[in-house]
Amino acid sequence: MAKMKKKLKLELKYVIFSIVLVFAVINGSIILYNFNVTNNKNQTIAVSSKPAADKIHTMAVEAINKNQTQAEALFQTARRQYEYILENTTDTDIHDYAQAKIVDCDAQVWLLDHK
């Protein structure tokens, strides 16, 4: 009987210790997650003028001979990127560059449609 009480007490201690450990891990995870979320909110996002649009345009040019449907979709995506740049820039050089690239994308799509 005494052995059973000792064994029961030991098992009870393990169960309580396990529950406390689980709650500590959960609370620690929540605290770290909240800390990470608040740090991400304070970060500034880098603003780029046109690298993504230029990369998409380059991918479209490379896809012209391989897959014309993909090339057309890429030109249309690049055009939308250049339109966004055109609407949101105050720099004259970037504005003119975006305008020229929009015309180029339109011409490429027209050529692909009428090939």
Contact in structure between 38 and 31 (CB atoms under 8 Å): no
Residue ranges per structural domain of the chain: 1-43, 51-113
Q: What is the pLDDT of residues 74-98, one digit of tens each?
A: 999 999 999 988 888 888 888 899 8
d(CA 60, CA 51): 14
DSSP 59-95: HHHHHTTT-HHHHHHHHHHHHHHHHHHHHH---HHHH
Answer whether CATH 1.25.10 is correct for domain 51-113: no
**C-alpha dihedral, 14 to 20 to 22 to 23, nearest 10°:** 170
Q: pLDDT tens digit string along 16-26? A: 888 888 888 88
